[in-house]
Every structure is written in structure tokens, then in C-alpha cells.
Amino acid sequence: MRRLFTSFPGGVAGSALLLLRAVSGLLFVREGFSFFRQVDASASTLVAGLVVVGTLLVIGLMTPLSGGAGALIVGAVAAGFVEAPVTAVFQPGVSALLLESMLIALLLQGPGAYSVDARLFGRREIIIPLRWE
């Protein structure tokens, strides 16, 4: 898992990644719950996938994997490969393209310093004690 992350930027860049994760993740959770009210039992996998991917993105756990899975879901729904209620976000067009680009950016940039991934896999300070003889 450590090889998926190149760095964990903090400061302004980390805050921007936090905002990107929060917006896209909350959008997935909202879409999942709105689909839950509209679809039958056959699409429950899509609903669960949306809610799980959204939750993972918001907390910043397994961010590259959840960003990639989210990009695949958005692409499949927008292209019509997966049947789902058409909402403003998953329609083919500008909104799906924007969400897709946000998820690809998260896939490539990683979670940032303000995430669970950073706490689990972030840089560690190793203190080597002096050896006195």
C-alpha cells in the first residue's frame, strides 16, 4: 500500500486535496442515497459502491484505489454501461467530466497530509541512537 503514495503534501496543497476529497466523496454519498430511494434491488450494488467509495474518499482511506473505483463508476454510468437513474451529476456531459477529472486528480496526487492514509502510511521520523562504547 505504501507504494501507492509518493508524498503527503501539507499546507495549502494538503488543504486543497482535503477539499477535493470532501467534495467528491460527499457527492458520491449523496448520489448513493438518492439512488437508494429510486432504484430496485438489482442496483443495490451500485448504491453500496457509491456510498462506500464516497465514505473512503471523505476520510482519506485508500484514496488512490477509491478514486480509481469512483472514476470507473462515473465513467460507466455516464457512458450507459451501468443502468442507474440519471441525475445531474452522472449525465454524460460537463458535470460527469468534472467529477471524473477530480477523481483522476485524486488518483494521481494521493490523499494529502490531512487523511487517514497519511496517518497510516505517512513519513515517519526515525531516531537512530548514538552508540557509546
Residue that wins the pLDDT comparison between 82 and 32: 32
pLDDT above 90: residue 22: yes
Distance CA 20, CA 14 (A): 10
Do 29 and 55 touch, CB atoms closer than 8 A?
Answer: yes
Do 68 and 62 touch, CB atoms closer than 8 A?
Answer: no
What is the value of pTM for the model shown?
Answer: 0.78
- pLDDT over 70 for what percent of the chain? 80
| Mean confidence (pLDDT) of the chain | 80
Q: Domain ranges in the chain? A: 10-117
Q: What is the pLDDT of residues 99-108, one digit of tens each?
A: 888 888 888 8
